[in-house]
Amino acid sequence: MRATTTLASVRKLVPLVVDALLVILFCAIGRRSHDEAVLTGLLKTVWPFAIGLAIGWVLAAAVASRVKGHVDGTALWPAGVLVWLGTLCGGMLLRVISGQGTAFSFIIVAACVLALFLLGWRAAIKAIN
Which residue has better confidence, 22 or 6? 22
Q: What is the pLDDT of residue 104?
A: 96
What's the rounded Cα separation, in Å, for the pair 43 and 9? 28
- Percent of the chain with pLDDT strictly greater than 70: 95
pLDDT surpasses 70 at 1: no
Confidence of residue 9 (pLDDT cuts 50, 70, 90): confident
| pLDDT (tens digit per residue) in 60-116 | 999 988 877 788 999 999 999 999 999 999 999 999 999 998 999 999 999 999 999
Return all residues near 75 (Cβ < 8 A) that are at least 6 apart. Answer: 64, 122
Torsion sign (Cα): 44, 36, 25, 33? positive
- Percent of the chain with pLDDT strictly greater than 90: 74
Q: What is the pLDDT of residue 101?
A: 86
Write the DSSP symbol of residue 69. Answer: S
